[in-house]
Amino acid sequence: MSPADPALLEIFSAEQAEHLQRMRAIVPGIASAETATAAYEELLRRAHTLKGAARAVGIESSETLVHALESALSTLRAAGPEPSQDVIHLLQLALDVMEDIPVALRAGRALPGIEELLQGVARISGKTYITAAPPSPPAPPAAPSSEPLSEFVRINAHYLDELMGASAELVAAADMAAAAGTGVERAEQAVREWRRLRNEASVYIRSRRRDPEFAPTFECIQNAEHQIEVLAAEVRAEAAIRHQRDWDLRRLTDHLEESALRIRMVTAETVFGSFGPMLRNLAADIGRTVDFRTTGLDILVDRVVLQSLKDPVMHLLRNAVSHGIESESERIAAGKPAAGIIRLALRAGGERLRITVEDDGRGLDYTAVAEEAARQGIARESNETLSDLVFRPGFSTSQRLTTLSGRGLGLSIVRDEVNLLQGDVQMQSQPGKGLRILISVPLSLSGQQVLFVSEAGYTFGILTTWIERLERVERSEIGTAEGLPVVTIDSQPMRLVRLADLLSLPPVPRSEDAEEETGPIRIAIVAAGDVRAAIAVDALLDVRDAVLKPTHLETGEAGLSAGAIPMPDGTVAVVLNAPELAQRFRRAGAASARAFEPREEQPRRNRILVVDDSITTRSLEKSVLEAHGFDVVLAVDGVDGLAKLRESSIDAVITDLMMPRMDGFQLLENIRKDPRLRKTPVIVVSSMESREDQERGLALGANAFIVKRKFDQRELIRAVRRIL
């Protein structure tokens, strides 16, 4: 394989550094039963991405080492018991050596030896690896040119992101300043109020003005009126200045935001241009010949969008080679050209970037997908297509594990990354004729047009690119089909679901506004992929351009949020991810049948005591319970929990088992021995999942036992509601 290109090597080094920093931080997490599942999942995802990047650049040593690391992690995850510290040290050492390889290549030094380390990592998974000859160091830089300096300069991408973030903050601050009330408005209101009072009292003042006793009062009124008129003139002048200042600030912030956005726009060629050599090398390695064709690489796109799409598009191209393109003999026998055709096409339209990755290979093997679904025990619902299944994590139809395929991570990464970009991904296939994958994402992640809606007391945003239309329908127009509410749009019945149901929001008290309870229903028709969702909300508030800010949610919830927007009143509106919203709409069931009945008065909120020594677990369970309408009291261990039980009115207890001072078993015993507490329901949520532990907990009087490894917030809520 040819030496690594210096420019690509720089890009790879920066990308790898980001992945390795995160991987080092979470490797210790595999030694804890509470964090192992999430740690293994993220480590495997990042290793899979790094392997593809190393192959793209042509660094065989890195590719071989990360492939061995990936196999070792898969073996450790399947083994179950906590790995030893020696194993963890070996994994950390592998990460260190991975970082040293591109450093050595960039400096023109000999590569670090990886044979012994490779075999050590390989022993974990029971495999052996033969290392290839290391790639040649990059050529030394050419002598400085005597040509005139270009008008272009290199800028650290981090600084560009900081500039974009600062401009977004400034725009939000300008909006809040313009919307906020000031002393000028209050002064203008005071002047108007004075004039109103003076006019009301004018008849009385004229009738008393010649009265000697009233003369001092009349003089005070005249002086006050003079001073107020002077103040009114100053207020008018100040208001004019403030309006001009607000307009200038708005104009300058808009200009800054547009300039920062233009700086961040680059051609797709800068990120996708290296895919051709990568594909040809991949194809040659497995005995294939490909004709790679690209169009639209000259389109200007937000650099952050392109960088986020780099790995997903690379995975799709790799899949086209490993799963799609047949051998030359197969293709000739099928009447196809010997070389397989793979196309990457980009086009822009309506503030969206649309990417098509297609090949003329064998297409999706629906039979193999169905067999793999059956093998994994996936109960496929009627509304989940076979094409949907291939995007599941760990789903692969490959019969063997290779450096290109077999782990079932590629398409899962594609879907997750595209969803985080507020995008949509679809698959089209004809067996024997090829496969096409369509991706649609915003051209930029900065200023976007957002529809703001109100639901259950909260303000949410939805990008208008997903809004097909807005409707207002009378409640009498809502029908039912199979027990679910439907509304007729363009002579076609559509299932209707409240946004609160899709977001699992708790019920709100009955509104005093009769129109809200009996008036028309506001509906947003959201179209994402092949789903058209009629979503009802309490109110349609506004449509405006806004700058999305990251929410930094945990992985489990990040898919539903596309970002957040500061509102003029100081609150924050969460912008919902429309594709995820559409999928929730597709899965919505009978719970939505009661969504349009008159709301009942909110019942008394039950009070739940959560006892756990882990602040993460306490916080998670508290947020889940409060989101479903419960009041929550927290305790750090059994001693603290028992004290709060005796001093507060508690309706139910959720407790861990392994805690300092007093564990969950002892807490259960004390609760059941206390005459005042013995009837209090108790749910155990613990990582101690052995049958003996569960039987002991239930024998001591626990009403339910939930294993943390299988923790599902819906299961917890069902258990709480069942015992209450």
Q: Please state the domain extents for the chain.
A: 1-139, 173-264, 268-445, 447-594, 607-723
Read off the pLDDT of each residue in 564-583 and give the average, rounded to a whole number.
Answer: 79
Instruction: Classify 607-723 by CATH class.
Output: alpha beta
pLDDT at 80 over 80: no
Q: What is the pLDDT of residue 608?
A: 93
Q: By mean pLDDT, which of 72-76, 156-160, 680-684, 711-715 is the weakest?
A: 156-160
Read off the pLDDT of each residue in 218-231 and give the average, rounded to a whole number.
Answer: 80
Read off the pLDDT of each residue in 509-530 and give the average, rounded to a whole number.
Answer: 68
Contact (Cβ atoms closer than 8 angstroms) between residue 605 and residue 632: no
pLDDT at 112 over 60: yes
Separation between Cα atoms, residue 593 and residue 538, nearest integer Å: 17
Q: What is the pLDDT of residue 450?
A: 87
pTM metric for this prediction = 0.50
pLDDT at 168 over 70: no
| Confidence band of 157 (pLDDT split at 50, 70, 90) | low
Q: What is the pLDDT of residue 345?
A: 94
Read off the pLDDT of each residue in 595-618 and give the average, rounded to a whole number.
Answer: 70
Q: What is the pLDDT of residue 4?
A: 58
**Cα 576 off chain centre by:** 9
How much of the chain exceeds pLDDT 90, in percent? 7
Q: Which residue has the higher pLDDT, 532 or 8?
A: 532
pLDDT at 174 over 80: no
Q: Which residue has the higher pLDDT, 260 or 688?
A: 688
| Confidence band of 8 (pLDDT split at 50, 70, 90) | low
Superfamily of domain 447-594: CheA-289, Domain 4 (2.40.50.180)
Model confidence over 339-350: pLDDT tens digits?
899 999 999 887
Q: Which residues are registered as beta bridge partners of 526?
A: 467, 533
| Confidence band of 570 (pLDDT split at 50, 70, 90) | low
Give the 3-state secondary structure of residue 546: strand
pLDDT at 35 over 70: yes
Q: Which long-range contacts (CB under 8 A, 24 or more apart) does 133-137 make?
A: 133/60, 134/60, 134/61, 135/1, 135/2, 135/3, 135/4, 135/58, 135/59, 135/60, 135/61, 135/105, 136/3, 137/3, 137/104, 137/105, 137/107, 137/108, 137/109
Instruction: Classify 268-445 by CATH class.
Output: alpha beta
Model confidence over 374-423: pLDDT tens digits?
777 665 543 446 667 777 766 666 554 444 444 445 577 788 788 778 78
pLDDT at 653 over 90: yes
pLDDT at 129 over 60: no
Nearest to 226 by CA among 189, 251, 198, 255: 198
Contact (Cβ atoms closer than 8 angstroms) between residue 483 and residue 570: no
Residue 422 backbone zone (phi > 0: left; psi -120 to 50: alpha; other: beta): left
Q: What is the pLDDT of residue 347?
A: 93
Q: How many Cβ atoms from other residues are within 10 Å of residue 336's Cβ?
A: 19
* CATH tag, 1-139: 1.20.120.160
Model confidence over 180-221: pLDDT tens digits?
555 666 677 777 777 777 777 777 777 777 778 777 887 787
Strands 539-547 and 447-455 come out as antiparallel
Strands 531-537 and 521-528 come out as antiparallel
Nearest to 158 by CA among 18, 9, 12: 18
The one-letter amino acid at 311: D
Separation between Cα atoms, residue 223 and residue 221, nearest integer Å: 5
With a CB cutoff of 8 Å and minimum separation 6, the contacts of 507 are 456, 599, 600, 602, 629
Read off the pLDDT of each residue in 217-230 and give the average, rounded to a whole number.
Answer: 80
Q: Which two tokens stand for residue 690?
A: 């052995």
The one-letter amino acid at 580: E
Model confidence over 654-663: pLDDT tens digits?
998 888 888 8
